[in-house]
Amino acid sequence: MSTQSEPLRFGGEVRATAVLATPLVFGHLATGMIGLVDSVIAGRHGTATLAAVSVGTAMFWLPMMIPMGTLMALPPSVSQLNGSGRRSEIAPLFRQSLWLALGLGLLLFAFLSLAPMVLAPMGIAEGIRPGARDFLHGIRWGVPALTLYYAMRYLSDGLHWTLPTMLLGFGGLLLLVPLGYAFTFGRFGLPEMGAGGLGLASSLMMWAQAIAFAVYLARAKRFASLGLFARFDPPLLAPIRDLLRTGLPIGVTVAMEGGLFVVTALLIGRLGQFEAAAHQVAINVASLCFMIPFGVAEATTVRVGHAMGAGGGREGVRRAMLAGLALVLCTQALSALVLVAGHDVIASVYTADQAVAALAGSLLLFAAVFQFPDGVQVLSAGALRGLKDTRVPMLLAAFAYWGVGMALGATLGLGMGMGPRGMWIGLIAGLVVAALLMGARFLRTSGRLPRRAR
């Protein structure tokens, strides 16, 4: 590639990042829209169902972030083997990642089986608990499929082939809509199961996606030479340990980032089903908006790493980061504009309860405020991963999200009686601090690099 010898100009770097980010963004949007479908179906079933799904979704995704982040060790490992001509080692590594994914999935299944026991001690409102319990018991059956799906997806991503991720993501949505409707409302001869039916429908979708991905990998000519399923390998300690050594810090970081929002949902669940339902609407919309800068951040990780490998030095690395930043500022400006202009309309799509829609609409204005700091912090974290600087950012994230964001949000929302609005002020504060700290860390780390050799 020409970029190995001559760095791209800024405009070319922006275009390269955009091309790389586009499939990643659509893949994340497909995943994020699962929450949209769940929330809309639950909201149309009733405020209690929406509140239960809000709490259940929070209790599902908080622990799920750790195996999801841990398996993120697979793409760079696969990409390195592929780039160095060691393709024969990809299939054995992939088979070990499947064992790791299955083990993580079974552990999470056990956790979700016991999780409803803590709903009352956590102070979740009594009217929310039965639905949240049913949702967790329904969705737990799909967890092993989801972790296996992530292993297969990250293999494909590591080989620079993201089309299956997008197609299966949107295909899963097409399956979830009728399944979720039928199980939740009791259509086509099925009993009305409410939140529990939505959890079960999500599980069926996860298994369908995992099976479809496995069939694709086994039959696609693109992967035929790898022999991914050519033989059975028992679990081996050394490769699984290596994956854990690389992936667990990523998993912890991802959990801390997302955990701020998840725990906020659980705390708001203590206030009642009205507040929990409104928060679920707003946080789902905010999560969808987040998928766009998240995809750009992943592309920036690759571009920063490429600049390092190509000997671009300080200038090349910072150019790659600034290209991602330019894209993120544009996407976040658009998201903020949509939220400000359409917050009431967006909220009304989720629920027919006018009181819930009104509170959710006001929370979406808070979401508009944190679009820029949210985009900057995730972009900076992605650039730091490209420099393989992950331990200090993990500590910075812990301080920003939990030392500032959660502490302030809990004080305002629960201690001072400001409710969901107080919690969302805490979210904004945490994201602003994270953006400042992560940005400063990138400047410091990249500043230590030598200038590009002339």
CA distance 361 to 129: 25
**Greatest extent of the chain over all pairs of C-alpha atoms, in Å:** 73
Reading the block at residue 22, the tokens are: 């586009």
C-alpha angle 31/419/336, rounded to 5°? 45
Instruction: Dump pLDDT digits (tens) for 205-225.
Output: 999 999 999 999 999 999 999
pLDDT of residue 5: 41
In a domain, 28, yes or no: no
Whether residue 88 is found in the same domain as residue 14: no
Residue 154 near residue 130, CB atoms below 8 Å: no
CA distance 216 to 188: 31
SS3 27: helix
In a domain, 451, yes or no: yes
* Pairwise pLDDT comparison (379 vs 386), residue with the higher score: 379
Residue whose C-alpha is closest to residue 386's, from 291, 323, 317, 451: 317
Task: Please report which confidence band the pLDDT of residue 1 belongs to, taking 50, 70 and 90 as the band edges.
Answer: very low
In a domain, 218, yes or no: yes
Whether residue 372 is found in the same domain as residue 297: yes
CA distance 300 to 446: 14
CA distance 258 to 236: 31
In a domain, 148, yes or no: yes
Residue 8 has pLDDT above 70, yes or no: no
Reading the block at residue 370, the tokens are: 């944190």
Reading the block at residue 349, the tokens are: 């799509």
| Contacts within 8 Å (CB) and 24+ apart, 92-95 | 92/233, 92/239, 93/239, 94/151, 94/155, 94/226, 94/228, 95/228, 95/233
Whether residue 195 is found in the same domain as residue 302: no
φ, ψ (nearest 5 deg) of residue 217? -60, -35
Residue 303 near residue 386, CB atoms below 8 Å: yes
Whether residue 427 is found in the same domain as residue 307: yes
CA distance 233 to 251: 25
Reading the block at residue 400, the tokens are: 């920003």
Reading the block at residue 26, the tokens are: 């659509």
Instruction: Dump pLDDT digits (tens) for 82-124.
Output: 766 788 889 999 999 999 999 999 999 999 999 888 888 877 8
Whether residue 204 is found in the same domain as residue 56: yes
Torsion angle, CA of 185/138/213/177, rounded to 10 degrees? 10
CA distance 73 to 247: 5
CA distance 49 to 360: 16
Q: Which residue has the tokens 């420099």?
A: 387
Whether residue 342 is found in the same domain as residue 449: yes
Residue 270 has pLDDT above 80, yes or no: no
What's the Cα-to-Cα distance from 440 to each of 381, 393, 437, rounded to whole Å? 11, 11, 5
* Pairwise pLDDT comparison (426 vs 385), residue with the higher score: 426
pLDDT of residue 334: 94
The total of other beta-carbon atoms located within 10 Å of residue 65's CB is 19
Q: Mean pLDDT over residues 418-433, rounded? A: 89
CA 15 to chain centre: 24
In a domain, 267, yes or no: no
Q: Which domain holds residue 68?
A: 46-247
Look at 55-69, 100-114, 171-185, 420-434 and tell me which has the smallest mean pLDDT: 55-69
CA distance 332 to 370: 9
CA distance 377 to 433: 9
Whether residue 217 is found in the same domain as residue 94: yes
Task: Please report which confidence band the pLDDT of residue 2 belongs to, taking 50, 70 and 90 as the band edges.
Answer: very low
Task: Please report which confidence band the pLDDT of residue 4 belongs to, taking 50, 70 and 90 as the band edges.
Answer: very low
Residue whose C-alpha is closest to residue 22's, from 300, 296, 289: 296
Residue 404 has pLDDT above 90, yes or no: yes
Whether residue 276 is found in the same domain as residue 152: no
Reading the block at residue 244, the tokens are: 């854990």
Whether residue 175 is found in the same domain as residue 74: yes
In a domain, 31, yes or no: no
Whether residue 51 is found in the same domain as residue 187: yes
User: Chain-wide mean pLDDT for the chain?
Assistant: 85
In a domain, 322, yes or no: yes
Q: Mean pLDDT over residues 267-273, rounded? A: 76
Whether residue 85 is found in the same domain as residue 193: yes
Counted domains in the chain: 2
In a domain, 132, yes or no: yes
Whether residue 214 is found in the same domain as residue 119: yes
| Contacts within 8 Å (CB) and 24+ apart, 184-191 | 184/41, 184/42, 184/45, 184/49, 185/45
SS3 307: helix
